[in-house]
Structure 1
């Protein structure tokens, strides 16, 4: 198991090619779940956990891993299922999301698969707003649920969307020059809400798309009706999205004569130097690691 991520650094070429690799795992039951390999730092047998008083009920305990104290979240319990009973026979997926490192307690870890974003689809209609899926795909004839980890983490430790008053005031002076809305493309309902709240604090209107393909369709529809720069001020896009990722969306925007001058901010919970390098490769104007409302507001202010 220790070697399951040994070649993770060799996989960076997948990013920007509308491809990803998923780490498959199970909780309590046969259902398979997936998480993007680029968000995973390591997978290990669950270490000895220390229970802390007054901890969140979803946190089984904390562990010291390579000199860092990391909270271990019972992923099954956090999603409304049965707690994972025997931690000594379980695994911890150590991941980095939105500038924080945490561990997810899972029952078993299977393997890594290589898939195209086009085969990653939005959750089925009727799944309801209280599910924890951000997307689904089919592997070996079975449905794999790709988890909306941002939603899970936000329920455990909500992120503030408040923007610094000085930035709000500075944007207010610029707003009279441009009342055009911002297009947000993100498959996570929590991420969309966070961005919208921050933008509403600045007094800016938002148009929302749930993935890159829907965003591109919307942009082309708008461009067909008239110059896009008269209708939109910018695009804020996630990188990981079903059907079309944010890098591909940005490249499509740059290759479309009616959209190529749009300001694009990539806003993602992915970490790593390779992301910043790809900002230039696909032609994005800026890259921000989720979610810091002041940083995002400052980037929007600069774009305006």
Structure 2
């Protein structure tokens, strides 16, 4: 396992080309899972775990890693499976989501696979664990499931989804005032993340159109443009970066290429808080980047967008 992620920092050229690399792993069974390498900081043999009182039932224990105290989440148990056995032979995937470091306990780690986002598809209808999936793909004629980590984290440590009342008032008092179109297009493959943004925007009086990936977002914008000026229908786009079929970088680039859409204000809103490529955000033409999830920061970004 030593060195499997040594080249992660050299992989940023994949960003913006609608490509990603998946680190594949298994839990308590034959099913394979994947996580985007850009969210992974390190993979280790499971260190010694310390049990502490009042830990969440999904937290296997606390580990001291690189000078940090990290909660180790039993990923199998978190998605409704059996608790991970033989912990001393298991691995932890150290990842950064939503501004914090987490460790996910997995039974085994396999390899890194270079893929296109077009090969990453929404979960099939009726999938047994669909409520914990953001996407699926096929590798070596085997279904690989990509988990909704944000949903798991929200169950362990719920975040505040309410925006400060003052931000809504400031938006209303901005120079555009009552002339703004109080409707936003939201694109995110995570049900939890999508709902968080919807609640935050709804709390300040905005309506929203929500879609599950960049391709759906772009098609929605094309449909709007066919009906008339898109600027009379929405004020801005808030998009995740990692999404099946079309990622947020590619969505932004496509918006900028389309004469009917090119002046739309785009906020990229991602859990890739520690490793996102600011140069790429600017290169594809996004107006702003906000790390998930702070409702006031998101509200302030919307306020700036509407004031321009």
Q: TM-score, normalised by structure 1?
A: 0.98
SS in 2 for 1:71: strand
Match of 2:48 in 1: 48
Q: Residues 38 and 271 of structure 1 are in contact (CA less than 8 Å); yes or no, is this contact kept in structure 2?
A: no
Q: TM-score, normalised by structure 2?
A: 0.96
1:34-113 paired onto structure 2 within 5 Å: 34-113=34-113
Do residues 133 (structure 1) and 121 (structure 2) align?
A: no
- For 1:130 and 1:115, the matched residues in 2 are separated by 22
- For 1:151 and 1:40, the matched residues in 2 are separated by 17
- For 2:103 and 2:114, the matched residues in 1 are separated by 23
Do residues 245 (structure 1) and 236 (structure 2) align?
A: no
Aligned length: 304
For residues 222-276 of structure 1, give each alpha carbon's deviation from its aligned partner in whole angstroms, at most 9, with x where no partner exists.
0011011111100000000000000000000000000001000000001345521
**Residue 177 of structure 1, aligned match among 173, 176, 179:** 179
The unaligned stretches of length 5 or more in structure 1 are: none
Structure 1 window deviating more from structure 2 (171-180 vs 224-233): it is 171-180
Following TM superposition, by how much is the alpha carbon of 1:45 offset from its aligned partner in structure 2, in angstroms? 0.2
SS in 1 for 2:11: helix
Do residues 282 (structure 1) and 284 (structure 2) align?
A: yes
SS in 2 for 1:176: helix
SS in 1 for 2:49: coil
The unaligned stretches of length 5 or more in structure 2 are: none
SS in 2 for 1:287: strand
SS in 2 for 1:30: coil
CA RMSD of aligned residues (A): 1.2
- For 1:129 and 1:263, the matched residues in 2 are separated by 35
Structure 1 window deviating more from structure 2 (192-201 vs 124-133): it is 124-133
Q: Residues 44 and 91 of structure 1 are in contact (CA less than 8 Å); yes or no, is this contact kept in structure 2?
A: yes
Match of 1:219 in 2: 221
Following TM superposition, by how much is the alpha carbon of 1:61 offset from its aligned partner in structure 2, in angstroms? 0.5
Following TM superposition, by how much is the alpha carbon of 1:165 offset from its aligned partner in structure 2, in angstroms? 2.1
- For 2:49 and 2:183, the matched residues in 1 are separated by 48
Q: Residues 180 and 230 of structure 1 are in contact (CA less than 8 Å); yes or no, is this contact kept in structure 2?
A: no
Shift in alpha-carbon separation, 1:153–1:68, aligned structure 2, 3 A: same
Shift in alpha-carbon separation, 1:229–1:289, aligned structure 2, 3 A: same
